[in-house]
Structure 1
Amino acid sequence: MDQELKHFSVLLVFGNIENLILAAQGVDAHVNPLGLAILSLMAVCFWLIIGTFGTRFAMKYARIINFIGGLAIFILGIQAMMNSIPGMLAFFH
């Protein structure tokens, strides 16, 4: 892996985990799977283009980007857990 890109490897791993969580939320909310897949692919392509052309510019802000990305992943994970608590509690009744 390129030495410059190592700074973003943690966001790549945890971002993919968060994508799985968001997909599970979409299934739980009974979202149209085809529409969700199309929107997900569009978002991935959009971020790929931004990442490809914006990496050189972003290198000097790698620490800030990692912090904001990690915070967003953490907040979305907490939100996913909070939304699933009522369903988990209903399971035990």
Structure 2
Amino acid sequence: MIGELKPFIILLVFGNIENLILAAQGVAAHVDPFGLACLSLIAVLFWLFVGTFGTKMALKYARYINFIGGFAIFVLGLQAMLESIPGILSFF
């Protein structure tokens, strides 16, 4: 089974980074931590079910999934950096 999941290792690593980026964006936007935690838990459970039942079907699309996941992380990181520029400039 580990061999079957090997194409998704990079997505798992970057998925954790994406969670950190989203959490940082929530803190910067002063979002209610309890609400954010509840929504995050719902999203994690949703992806658990998708991963459990959709892995066999998704294996043939592993390259596309990795690219889309990596691109989403890149866009979210870029968005977080661009939104933080005014705060950085006001510091000086």
Structure-2-length-normalised TM-score: 0.95
Q: 2: distance between equivalents of 1:44 and 1:24? A: 17
Partner of 2:70: 70
Q: Secondary structure at the match of 2:30?
A: coil
Moved over 6 A (4+): none
Q: Secondary structure at the match of 1:30?
A: coil
Q: 2: distance between equivalents of 1:85 and 1:15? A: 25
Q: Secondary structure at the match of 2:11?
A: helix
Q: Within the alignment, does 1:11 sit opposite 2:11 as a pair?
A: yes
Q: 1: distance between equivalents of 2:21 and 2:70? A: 15
Q: 1: distance between equivalents of 2:27 and 2:86? A: 16
* RMSD of aligned Cα (Å): 1.0
Partner of 2:52: 52
Q: 1: distance between equivalents of 2:33 and 2:62? A: 34
Between the aligned residues of both structures, percent identity stands at 74
Structure 1 residue 21: Cα displacement? 1.1
Q: In the comparison of the two structures, how many residue pairs are matched? A: 92
Q: 2: distance between equivalents of 1:74 and 1:28? A: 18
Q: 2: distance between equivalents of 1:84 and 1:15? A: 22
Q: 1: distance between equivalents of 2:5 and 2:85? A: 37
Q: Which amino acid aligns with 1:88?
A: I
**1:42-81, CA deviations, whole angstroms, 9 ceiling, x for partnerless residues?**
0000001001100000001111111111111111111111
Q: 2: distance between equivalents of 1:15 and 1:45? A: 14
Unaligned runs of 5+ in 2: none
